[in-house]
């Protein structure tokens, strides 16, 4: 960030190469639309470059990174809602990118089962209310610690703990109604 503040375009390029996929993944999980996610990411990296001189290396860079990205996503959602666009939760094909396909070295039957499980989990996460989805995505898919999530979302540590607990319970309720869960019970 300090190199970018000095106008170093190579540092900006390195930042985009190192964090571009993570930003795209997060934005896609929020909007579930590749074009909107791509537009938000372009705006986000431009914003990082333009405001690099304001960055103060106090905590982990990733926490700062996701906090700025999260706030931009919220601003974009607010603008979208003001324009009476469809709610981002209603977009078709709610596939979240954090859970990829099963490794090819697995037996075909096991790989198919694992892919089906992952699809159901992605769909279940997509059904969570936004307040629960965002903490579950940051914790379970992005691997952030509770304190980092609190900082990114501007919440207290206790609020994050409560939301993650509620999110996990809600996710379990959704998954318990799925056909895959019923098959594993028998």
Q: What is the CATH number of the domain that holds 119?
A: 1.10.10.10
User: Is position 95 within any domain?
Assistant: no
pLDDT at 92: 30
Q: Tell me, yes or no, if the pTM score tops 0.85.
A: no
pLDDT at 6: 85
pLDDT at 41: 93
Based on the domain organization, do 65 and 127 belong to the same domain? no
Q: Which tens digits make up the pLDDT trace of 123-180?
A: 888 888 888 988 988 888 888 889 989 988 889 999 999 999 999 899 888 888 876 6
Residue written as token pair 């594993």: 184
pLDDT at 111: 73
Q: CA angle at residue 167 from 28 to 42, to 5 degrees?
A: 20
Question: Can you tell me the distance from the alpha carbon of 158 to that of 175, in angstroms, rounded to the nearest whole number?
Answer: 26
Greater model confidence, 173 or 122: 173
Distances in Å between the Cα of 112 and the Cα atoms of 12, 123, 141, 178 are 40, 16, 21, 16
Distances in Å between the Cα of 171 and the Cα atoms of 6, 121, 164, 180 are 45, 8, 10, 14
Find the helix packing angle between 108-127 and 157-176, rounded to 10°. 120
Q: Which tens digits make up the pLDDT trace of 25-81?
A: 999 888 878 888 999 999 999 899 888 888 888 888 888 899 999 989 888 888 877
Greater model confidence, 93 or 113: 113
Q: What's the domain range around 159? A: 105-185
Whether 17 shows a pLDDT value over 90: the answer reads: yes
Question: Can you tell me the distance from the alpha carbon of 102 to that of 99, in angstroms, rounded to the nearest whole number?
Answer: 9
Based on the domain organization, do 112 and 84 belong to the same domain? no
Tell me the Ramachandran region of residue 174: left when phi exceeds 0, alpha when psi lies from -120 to 50, beta otherwise: alpha
User: Is position 45 within any domain?
Assistant: yes
Based on the domain organization, do 66 and 6 belong to the same domain? yes
């Amino acid at each position: 960030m300090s190199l970018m503040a000095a106008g170093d375009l190579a540092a900006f390029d390195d930042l985009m190469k190192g964090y571009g996929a993570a930003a795209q993944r997060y934005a896609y999980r929020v909007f579930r639309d590749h074009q909107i996610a791509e537009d938000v990411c372009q705006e986000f990296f431009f914003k990082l470059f333009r405001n690099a001189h304001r960055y103060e290396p106090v905590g982990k860079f990733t926490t700062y990174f996701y906090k700025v990205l999260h706030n931009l996503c919220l601003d974009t959602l607010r603008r979208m809602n003001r324009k009476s666009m469809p709610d981002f939760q209603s977009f078709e094909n709610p596939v979240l990118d954090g859970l990829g396909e099963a490794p090819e070295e697995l037996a075909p039957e096991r790989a198919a089962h694992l892919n089906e499980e992952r699809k159901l989990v992605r769909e279940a996460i997509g059904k969570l209310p936004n307040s629960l989805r965002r903490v579950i995505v940051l914790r379970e898919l992005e691997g952030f610690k509770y304190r980092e999530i609190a900082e990114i979302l501007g919440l207290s540590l206790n609020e994050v703990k409560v939301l993650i607990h509620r999110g996990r319970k809600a996710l379990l309720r959704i998954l318990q109604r799925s056909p895959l869960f019923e098959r594993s019970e028998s």
